[in-house]
Structure 1
Amino acid sequence: MITRRGLLKAFGGFIAAGFASSAYAVGVEPMLRLRTVTYRIVPPGWPTGQTLRLVALADIHACEPWMSAARIRGICEHANTLGGDIVLLLGDYLSSMRAVWGKVPPADWAAALSILKAPLGVHAVLGNHDWWDDLEAQAAGGGETFSHRMLREAGIAVYSNRAVRIETMTGAFWLAGLEDQIALRPGRQWNRGGFVGLDDLPGTLAQVTDDAPLILMAHEPDVFPRVPSRVSLTLSGHTHGGQVRLFGYSPMVPSAYGNRYAYGHVVEDGRHLCVSGGLGCSIAPIRFGSPPEIMVVELG
Structure 2
Amino acid sequence: MITRRGFLRLIGGSALSMVSLSAYAVGIEPMLLTHVKRYALTPPHWPTGLKLRVVALADIHACRPWMTPERIASLVENTNALQPDLIVLLGDYVDGMRLVTADVSAPDWASALSGLRAPLGVLSILGNHDWWHDYAAQVAGAGPTVARGALESVGIPVLENDVVRLEKDGHGFWIAGLADQLAIRPSKALRRHGFKGLDDLDGTLAKVSDSAPVILLAHEPDIFPKVPWRVSLTLSGHTHGGQVRLFGYSPVVPSEFGNRYAYGHVVENDRNLIVSGGLGFSILPVRFGVRPEILQIDLG
1 CA distance for matches of 2:99 and 2:154? 28
> For 1:149, what is the secondary structure of its paired residue?
helix
Deviations 1:116-174 (A, max 9, x none): 10010010000000000000001111121011010011111110100111011251100
Q: Does 1:211 align with 2:225?
A: no
Alignment of 1:112-123 (within 5 A): 112-123=112-123
1:263 corresponds to which residue?
263
- Tell me whether 139-148 or 239-248 shows the greater mean CA deviation: 139-148
2 CA distance for matches of 1:285 and 1:198? 29
The alpha carbon displacement at 1:33 in A equals: 3.5
The alpha carbon displacement at 1:3 in A equals: 1.9
2 CA distance for matches of 1:223 and 1:66? 29
Q: Does 1:290 align with 2:290?
A: yes
- Tell me whether 1-10 or 51-60 shows the greater mean CA deviation: 1-10
Q: Is the 8 A contact 2:32 2:291 kept in 1?
A: no
Q: Is the 8 A contact 1:49 1:170 kept in 2?
A: no
**What amino acid is the match of 1:61?**
H
1 CA distance for matches of 2:222 and 2:45? 24
What RMSD, in angstroms, separates the aligned Cα atoms of the two structures? 1.0
Q: Is the 8 A contact 2:53 2:298 kept in 1?
A: yes
1 CA distance for matches of 2:17 and 2:113? 38
The alpha carbon displacement at 1:281 in A equals: 0.6
1:12 corresponds to which residue?
12
Runs of 4+, deviation exceeding 2 Å: 188-192
1 CA distance for matches of 2:240 and 2:183? 18
Deviations 1:24-53 (A, max 9, x none): 000111122310001111111111111110
Q: Does 1:43 align with 2:43?
A: yes
After superposition, the Cα gap between the structure-2 partners of 1:221 and 1:191, relative to the gap in structure 1 and judged at 3 Å, is farther
**What amino acid is the match of 1:206?**
A
**What amino acid is the match of 1:207?**
K
1:105 corresponds to which residue?
105
1 CA distance for matches of 2:154 and 2:165? 22
Alignment of 1:1-300 (within 5 A): 1-187=1-187, 191-300=191-300
2 CA distance for matches of 1:126 and 1:116? 17
**What amino acid is the match of 2:238?**
H
> For 2:229, what is the secondary structure of its paired residue?
coil
2 CA distance for matches of 1:203 and 1:188? 30
Structure 2: which 5+ residue stretches go unaligned? Answer: none
- Tell me whether 161-170 or 186-195 shows the greater mean CA deviation: 186-195
Q: Is the 8 A contact 2:96 2:281 kept in 1?
A: no
Q: Is the 8 A contact 1:126 1:179 kept in 2?
A: yes
> For 1:144, what is the secondary structure of its paired residue?
coil
Structure 1: which 5+ residue stretches go unaligned? Answer: none
Q: Is the 8 A contact 2:263 2:274 kept in 1?
A: yes
Q: Is the 8 A contact 1:60 1:93 kept in 2?
A: yes
- Tell me whether 31-40 or 108-117 shows the greater mean CA deviation: 31-40
1 CA distance for matches of 2:24 and 2:184? 35
Aligned residues: 300
After superposition, the Cα gap between the structure-2 partners of 1:215 and 1:191, relative to the gap in structure 1 and judged at 3 Å, is farther
2 CA distance for matches of 1:290 and 1:283? 16
> For 2:168, what is the secondary structure of its paired residue?
coil
Deviations 1:224-256 (A, max 9, x none): 000000000000000000000000000000000
TM norm structure 1: 0.98
2 CA distance for matches of 1:167 and 1:37? 25
